[in-house]
Structure 1
């Protein structure tokens, strides 16, 4: 009789702290070793209470005299202690557990650490750290690290995990001699020091990251990124792409001849740069940056014309349907009279219309495809995609950008031979990639996050654009502002009014990141309420409402009425941040401006001043303002230069937020600071190429240690 099969044992469930470690990404020895302290606590010495002053953070040892729960003014645990000199101290806990009461028994020796305060009943510590000790319990021999943590992950557990990871991690030196700047310690020594600094260490050098141990980690991180970017550039140079050469009498020339305006010098220059890349036969990987309204769409159209003229398709993807529709309308206006079929693909396009669009794309009849992330859905198949244009590329998550790269794979060689004359010989071809952004990239970011990109910059605005005046107005002057709107409308002008929320106490899904301090959501004015108030305050004036929860057809109808001048005032959420072009709009009001990011405020401001009408952007703020809010509003009032705005935004938010860390899931720079560590960045750039050339194995080991799975993000 065969034995009865037994079910495999279920894997043991992970404990709460183990799950918390995993949620922080601390799943390997090297990840734990690189999980550095936020700060340190000095538990290496005791301070007599007689020598202490209110405001000092210190550690004391004292005996519990009594401990009890008081109920006035609220329930709290109060313990009274005296130290060896008889000096009294009160420990006060508003939140406490039975274990606190069990430890704070009369006669128990306690070691407590916290901020000393001068209370009504004498000196006290509120919610100090404390533990029971014996008279001979030794003091700590080194500063105690305090690590970034999460709920369910006690510091004691995390310290043991990090210490174990530090011991097990492979921290051998992989960089050859002469690469690491002189005076910096070996990697293992640097990490050992940062996790367990001796008591005589100057805390200031740890806190400001100027200590040589910190400098070693910063250099390693910057070098890994520079090597990875250089490697990515080299790998792409080995790939093949369609040779898209411009024909003198082709579609590009015809489009230039029919445009209703002349290109600016900057537009002409970047168009030449892009055309030169397209003709090289290797995949273009270029970032086109230009301020709001600089005219990036026409540059993209000219690049598309080159691709389509050579017999290849072009795709343009934008993050929102409004922006995609804005591009679609312009491209249809410019290209369809020249015989180009433009397909429209968004999530709202369904049924037979979608099937027809997909068929046109798959057959190649649609030479240009415009849409949202729907362009990269699995059922979208291109016949011969030669160029992809991604607008506002930083607003797409990493997964979407990687999906786009996979979608952009050209047909396999055997299929391509039947589809495109240019692909009949040689390896499978990769399409060219043009990314566009209206958030200019500061030089330090271009040297790091975009080191593997060619960057083209449109650094002048088209003629006829009027300067925008920016005014900061407190929200207690709303009545004056509404009177100003009445005057604008009477002169035939139009007005935007932007709110952070759709309805009371509810996020729009489009709303910006909130600063550390600010009004609760319930107290914020919302678009629905503001629309009702303005409709009542402006009798006879047509006031529209648009937000992200409307169906695409409803949004399109509202925008069409506003563009046609049927609506004088448009109350909106940030759905109108990009892609909206109404030259007659002369006034932009941003409600609760202190809650918006600096780049977002600049984009919103760019919705006005798009014609010859003098325009004003009013940033309506509520008090009290956080320090970050003050910095943002001051920057907006002082400059309309997108490059200066970007520089200040980088200063305020740091590179992770600036680049969209929420979308990437991982900050590529954890330790280095782009402004402070520019000299280290320069050294890393200098060594990266030589390391790849002369020590490829060391380069690979170094990048793998530091970046691991983030390599895909570098390629996205």
Structure 2
């Protein structure tokens, strides 16, 4: 039997006959007798409020409220030639009608015939007027999706009913648009309101004719009129897939407005003054640092470092994102940037989202920089009072030239002597305000001798900002949402890294995996076992990390098993990680706290339990904890139960490739842009019509034309951007 919920939803949203001030409610069942299926009336919020929820305020909003799909009411199909499963239109005379008792309450039913066949019309929910509309002997036109009826023949549940058409020239000449609707806002009313907006609004085409002609795109008003009322011979596939030239024009305009917004944001940011971190003639810290490194930089690292060094030497703030796959060596590039700041006489700060990741950075920098005589401070919220006081004093006095920490770096009381460079790792895990807070911390204000805070000069030179991300961002996403940044890519892994073999295994074979852990440790290697939860959850049938650690220790009594999770104290985490890094622990059972930052080359096996519960980016990051040395490594993905389509696709992708950029591209298809950007997308011009995966060529063109337009006619370009984004407070003019 067909899905009546879907049919009912369409009826209530698209074909209802309620006034604009009432709403269709679900009917009461049972004792209500003949009115059991009658749709009841309820008081609604004012129409203007309901429209505002849809973003419909101005005429321009209505004009841009484009159809979700189209229906073809330009022809009538004889009842005898109706095809089940296809939305069609028929016309006939009502043979009989009336109420029918069913186990779920009363329904209204009618039989329609036209000489070629009979069609049953069935209404589970209805208004009282249905009886007069479908009186025996009346001729009506119905529109809907026929399906096989119980007992034979065809039926339409909740068809749309209209008066009959006597002549074919009275049929519509265009496809019927079906718009997104709000609470009790009807299609018929909305169509008329959009038509009125099209008549009232002077749709000025701000985009130069030369641009649209160069791209082979129609003019704006032509495209809007076409999309709201496509001709009967319009390509249904092109309209559905949004590949019609008129759809292409709207998508281009949207992308163009977004690129103009981001270009203007970039221009305004570059008007700021920055500290010039140019190398001094007597500076040799970077030379000495590179001489003592136990490895040579890859070609990609060298290229990215040159890009950063060039930025740091300019009197405008660097705003650069360095993205690189797991293990590509972003930390050493960040260390070079920090050393350039120190060489120039300034401080550098590195902020990471978790203590484990921050501590990994801190230990590396201490190992690398202490021989150079550089003091590196450590600041986290869990420091003891005396330790924190000492760290704050070192930062404020400038004794600490480099500072590493978590969110504690942007808390009240942290004052830098002269911060020249702010580095943010895993940038998508921080909000825009948090990143800016670190950048402005050194100049946000200073305390006078009387203890009052004196605001810094708004025109004072600002520190440079370097952001790092181990989550590769697809090129189209970077072009669209990160266009106000300079993006560098480390697309080369250091030599000696071995590819990680990835396999999926049903959780019922867990004993075989435990035996493999024993064999790996017998060869002198170590292993990770990752679980999605810390403790029991009634909602999810998943093995928590605590329970898994106990079970694995019982199954492997000769091995040293340790547990690591986010609820542990900082000293506990440090002790566990130190023991694992030194080889004292054979198997580390953990939650996703080890997702980033953990570097133990001797660990060659990663087991992820209930891998179907993890996102693609998380799986890729966790897999990156192994394969960090020359030994052969493997990642085993244990999955249980019936996999969802999305879960199956994620495991297939992670099994097929270790290329982080390809994984990111596929992840964008599955999830959309939000999770790549973290909190960055807050306030960004988001896209309604364009698709970053399929509209890459349009995005390229929009970026190119936005740069040209801002250069040649900035005021008109900004007017175009405001038209698209200002109503939703998404236009970034500052």
Matched, 1:309 2:343: yes
Match of 1:4 in 2: none
Are the counterparts in 2 of residues 383 and 411 from structure 1 also a CA contact under 8 Å?
no
What's the CA shift for 1:209?
0.9
- Tell me the equivalent position of 2:9: none
Match of 1:322 in 2: 356
Match of 2:511 in 1: 479
Question: Does 2:254 align with 1:224?
Answer: no
1:296–1:119: structure 2 CA closer, same or farther, 3 Å change rule?
Answer: same
Contact 1:545 1:558 in 2 (8 A): yes
Provide the secondary structure at the position in 2 that maps to 1:473: strand
What is the CA distance between 1:698 and its match in structure 2? Answer: 0.7
State the alpha-carbon separation in 1 of the partners of residues 522 and 128 from structure 2.
Answer: 71
Among candidates 115, 135, 141, match of residue 107 of structure 1: 135
CA distances 1:628-650 after superposition (whole Å, capped 9, x unpaired) = 44443333223222233333334
Contact residue 314 and residue 369 of structure 1 kept, 8 A: yes
Whole-Å separation in 2 of the counterparts to 1:335 and 1:397: 30
Name the SS of the counterpart of 2:540 in structure 1: helix
1:226-245 alignment, distance < 5 Å: 226-245=259-278
Once the two structures are TM-superposed, the CA of residue 26 in structure 1 deviates from its matched residue by 4.8
Deviation at 1:216, TM superposition (A): 0.9
The yes-or-no answer on 1:15 pairing with 2:49 is: no
| Contact 1:293/1:610 (8 A) holds in 2 | yes
What's the CA shift for 1:303?
0.5
Residue among 496, 500, 504 paired with 1:468: 500
More deviation in 569-578 or 441-450? 441-450
Two-structure CA RMSD over aligned residues (Å) = 3.9
**Are the aligned partners of 2:429 and 2:679 in contact in 1 as well (CA < 8 Å)?**
no
- Rate the CA distance shift 1:145–1:522 in 2: closer, same or farther, 3 A: farther
State the Cα distance separating 1:622 from its structure 2 match: 4.0
Q: CA deviation at 1:34?
A: 3.0
Per the TM alignment, residue 387 of structure 1 is displaced from its structure 2 partner at its CA by: 0.9
Cα deviations by residue, 1:64-100 (Å, 9 ceiling, x for unpaired) = 62333422xx66846343244484444567xx55x45
Structure 2's unaligned 5+ residue stretches are: 1-42, 449-455
State the match for 2:520 in structure 1. Answer: 488
Give distance in 1, aligned partners of 2:541 and 2:446.
60
Range 603-612 or range 640-649, more displaced: 640-649
Per-residue deviation at 1:606?
0.2
SS in 2 for 1:707: helix
- Kindly state the Cα deviation for residue 689 of structure 1 after the two structures are TM-superposed: 2.8
> Which segment drifts farther, 654-663 or 193-202?
654-663
- The structure-2 alpha-carbon separation of the partners of 1:704 and 1:170, relative to structure 1 and needing over 3 Å to count, comes to farther
Q: Which moved more, 1:554-563 or 1:451-460?
A: 554-563
| Mapped pair 1:176 → 2:204 | no
Q: 1:711 to 1:300 in 2, by over 3 A?
A: farther
Match of 2:79 in 1: 49
Change (3 A) 1:699 1:385: same
Structure 1: tracts of 5 or more residues without a match: 1-12, 416-423, 507-520
**Corresponding residue of 1:58:** 88
The match for 2:295 among 251, 261, 266 is 261
**CA gap 1:68/1:551 in 2 versus in 1, 3 angstroms:** farther
Q: C-alpha deviations, 1:142-162, integer Å up to 9, x for none?
A: 544444567787767766776
Residues 328-477 of structure 1 correspond to what in structure 2 (within 5 A)? 328-349=362-383, 351=385, 353-401=387-435, 403-404=437-438, 407=440, 410=443, 428-477=460-509
The question of whether the paired residues in 2 share the 8 Å contact of 1:656 and 1:669 is answered with no
Q: Name the count of aligned residue pairs.
A: 675
Secondary structure of 1:575's aligned partner: helix
Cα distance in 1 for partners of 2:722, 2:306 equals 38
Please, what TM-score do these two structures have when normalized by structure 1?
Answer: 0.82
Looking at structure 2, the residues matched to 150 and 362 of structure 1 have their Cα atoms a distance apart, in angstroms, of 56
Q: Deviations over 1:395-444 (max 9, x none)?
A: 33345445555x357468999xxxxxxxx999521221111122233443
Cα separation, 2, equivalents of 1:550 and 1:157: 59
Residues 1:82 and 2:112 aligned together: yes
Distance 1:413 1:169 in 2: 53
Partner of 2:227: 194
| Cα separation, 2, equivalents of 1:624 and 1:642 | 27
Shift of 1:657: 5.0
Does the 8 Å CA contact 1:649/1:658 hold for their aligned counterparts? no
Q: Quote the Cα distance in structure 2 between the aligned partners of 1:483 and 1:341.
A: 46
Q: Is the 8 A contact 2:143 2:161 kept in 1?
A: no
Q: Distance in 1 between matches of 2:563 and 2:226?
A: 58
Quick check: 1:121 aligned with 2:151?
yes
**1:683-703 CA distance string (max 9 Å, x none):** 333322331222121111112
Name whichever of 76-85 and 684-693 sits farther off: 76-85
Query: How big is the shift at 1:493?
Result: 2.7
What does residue 279 of structure 2 align with? 246
Give how far 1:16 is off: 7.8
Q: 2:612, 2:647 within 8 Å by CA — same for their partners in 1?
A: yes
* Residues 489 and 568 in structure 1, CA contact (< 8 A), matched pair in contact too: yes
Deviations 1:212-247 (Å, cap 9, x if unpaired)?
Answer: 211111211222233334334443443321111224
Question: Which protein is bigger by CA-based radius of gyration?
Answer: 2
